[in-house]
């Protein structure tokens, strides 16, 4: 039993240590939540967590699809976060 718990803890540590990824499919999957308030909170959390790992191109796709994907959860707050991370992504990409 101890080995099972130890293996599960090691697996959890390995998963949490993985670098953040900007998978737009994850953002899209959150958009299927039924409650607009919950959907807004989860989309905002996703942006906060993964926004820095997105490329400028991915953020443009997010911006263009946000009305469709977020629906009633689309807000100025989400748009402001996308603009913020877009500016940071452009700075990173321009330095390369």
d(CA 51, CA 43) in angstroms, rounded, equals 11
Domain of residue 50: give its range. Answer: 20-95
9 found inside a domain: no
5 found inside a domain: no
Residues of the chain with pLDDT under 50: 15, 17
**Confidence (pLDDT) at 54:** 94
d(CA 47, CA 72) in angstroms, rounded, equals 17
Domain count, the chain: 1
Residues 15-32 pLDDT 10s: 454 567 889 999 999 999
6 found inside a domain: no
14 found inside a domain: no
Q: Which residues contact 94 (CB under 8 A, 6 or more apart)?
A: none
**Confidence (pLDDT) at 10:** 53
d(CA 49, CA 45) in angstroms, rounded, equals 6
**Confidence (pLDDT) at 46:** 95
**Confidence (pLDDT) at 3:** 67
**Confidence (pLDDT) at 21:** 86
**Confidence (pLDDT) at 96:** 73
């Amino acid at each position: 039993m101890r080995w099972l718990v130890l293996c599960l803890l090691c697996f959890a540590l390995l998963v949490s240590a993985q670098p953040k990824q900007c998978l737009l499919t994850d953002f899209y999957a959150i958009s299927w939540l039924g409650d607009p308030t919950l959907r807004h909170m989860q989309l905002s959390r996703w942006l906060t967590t993964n926004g820095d790992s997105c490329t400028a191109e991915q953020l443009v796709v997010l911006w263009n699809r946000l009305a469709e994907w977020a629906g009633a959860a689309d807000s100025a707050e989400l748009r402001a976060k996308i603009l913020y991370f877009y500016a940071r992504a452009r700075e990173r990409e321009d330095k390369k």
